[in-house]
Each structure stands twice: as structure tokens, then as C-alpha cells.
Amino acid sequence: MSTYAQLLEKAVKDFEKAHVEDESLNARELLGKALGCDCRRFDFEMRLQDSADGVVQGEFESLCQRRLSGEPLQYLVGEWEFYGLPFKVGQGVLIPRQDTETLIDTVRKKAPKDKPLTVVDLCAGSGCIGIALEKYLDCEQVTAVEVSDEAIEYMKQNIAINKSKMKIVKGDITDRQTALDLPTADVLTANPPYLTAQDMKLLQREVTFEPQGALFGGDDGLDFYRHILINFKQTLRTGGLIALEIGIGMEDEVMTMLVRHGFENVRAHKDACGAFRCITGFRK
């Protein structure tokens, strides 16, 4: 009979052989999931020398198999951290990315500070942007707009586990009627789908498990920025802040769009890797 430490060692080797990045993290997270115990906690370490229970071993091996066939670690674990907060994730919703923390940092720096804020987040997915802003800014009201029922189910759970008061509006941002259901905002945010047709052909294996609708932004990746500016400019009050996540190399085009729509003080902000990741501007 094996100990959990031995099972862990074997899984690390299997991941290494299959070129799964961060093999040790993957193996520990999945063993933690099978054991029902957070792998960052001391009791996880304490259990490693125990003889493995057959059911836990079966569960762990099946999770490792799924990981080896490309399923993202975050879906298998079922919960992931974004901006220090927990978010439920799984098939049907985009996994919160560390890149998107740039958007939160930028909005925290740039948002008007004179009164509690009304925030609207478009293409909200798991709800990670709206919930993080609600926690870290003085907000009166946060509204999340999302079209996918599957994503909305995760968002509801994320509102509950984070004790958030964020409201959900189910709506398609390509339809201008959606704006009718929204309050006038001091801050408008979005991490829209922005991958190009070319990007979609070159997706990392893990990303192919994520919803296409949350990734594909039309041939040039920019379709949703066009819809946002046409349909939701009026959602933002005069002097309000717009903050949009962008893909690599999109800064010139998205900044130009904002300037053409009459936004002032249009700026691009870099992520931790030094790539422009977020564009901001203020409505005139």
C-alpha cells in the first residue's frame, strides 16, 4: 500500500514526463482536492505519511488523468484565487487570470474618489472584476452584465462565498437594449472576449476547455470594444472612468477608438509582464 507522499511523487513524475508546467503545484492541488484538504495548510503536510485510502487514491488518480488530458487545473480544483479572493470556476466560465489584476489595480488608482461609486462590469463571467472592485473600492452599487447562463450560475456562487451585494443583469452587450437595464455608472469596466481568429487556432490545450464565447472577439479581436463603445458610452456619467482589458498589441487600436468616441486622458497600463493590458479614459 502507498502513502500519500508516494502517490504525490508518482504524479509529479507523470506530469513532468507529459510536460505539464508546475508539476509539483498541480500534483499537490489535486491531492488536496481528493483529500478534501487545502494543500497550503499544515494538516495536508501532516497527512502525507499516512497510508492512502482506496477511495481517495482512486479520486486522485482520476483527477491526474483528467489533468494529463488537458483539463485546466482550476476546473479540476473547482475554485481559484483572484486578487486574494476565492472564485468558483468550472466548465462554462472563463478562469480568472492574473493578468486581469492589472485592471483592478488601475481602477483602484484612477476611479473618482469624491463619493461612493456606482460600478458596471460588462462581460462579467465569474464576477471576479466586480466583486474585487466592491471589496477594494468604496462602492455604493456594483452591477455585473453577463449573457451566459452557465457563467451566471458560477457568478451567483461567487457572490455568495464572497458575501457580495453585486447585482446581476443577464444581457447581451451586442444588443443596445441591455443598457436600458443599467444604472448610470461612475466606473465602467470590461474584460471582453478579445482573441483573434488567428489566436483561436493556436490556443493552449487548457484554454480549449474554456468557453469560446468568452474568448473569441471576432476576426481582429476588437468586435466587443466596438459594441461596448457604441452601446454603453451613455451608461457612463460625464467624468466617469472606463477601464478595458486588452490583448497583447491592441493598445493603439483601442486607445484610438476611445479618443474617437470623445474620451479624455486616454492611457494604456502595463501588466506584471510589461505588456499593455488595460486602457482607461474619462467620458467628456
Binding residues (CB under 6 A) for ligand GLN: these are 97, 99, 191-195, 207, 215
Cβ of 181: how many Cβ atoms within 10 Å? 12
Task: Round to whole Å and give the CA distance between 126 and 148.
Answer: 10
- Torsion on CA atoms 105, 110, 113, 115, rounded to nearest 10: -90
Shorter beta-carbon distance to ligand GLN: residue 9 or 199: 199
Shorter beta-carbon distance to ligand GLN: residue 4 or 87: 87
Shorter beta-carbon distance to ligand GLN: residue 96 or 240: 96
In eight-state DSSP terms, residue 127 is S
Sign of CA dihedral 221, 222, 225, 227: negative
What lies within 8 Å, CB to CB, of 253 at 6+ separation is 220, 222, 225
Task: Round to whole Å and give the CA distance between 183 and 118.
Answer: 8
Sign of CA dihedral 175, 176, 182, 187: positive
Shorter beta-carbon distance to ligand GLN: residue 129 or 159: 129
Nearest CA among 175, 174, 283, 181 for reference residue 234: 283
- Least Å from the CB of residue 255 to ligand GLN: 17
- Least Å from the CB of residue 254 to ligand GLN: 12
- Least Å from the CB of residue 139 to ligand GLN: 23
Shorter beta-carbon distance to ligand GLN: residue 221 or 240: 221
- Least Å from the CB of residue 221 to ligand GLN: 8
- Least Å from the CB of residue 126 to ligand GLN: 12
Nearest CA among 92, 86, 269 for reference residue 281: 269
Shorter beta-carbon distance to ligand GLN: residue 31 or 243: 243
- Least Å from the CB of residue 150 to ligand GLN: 16
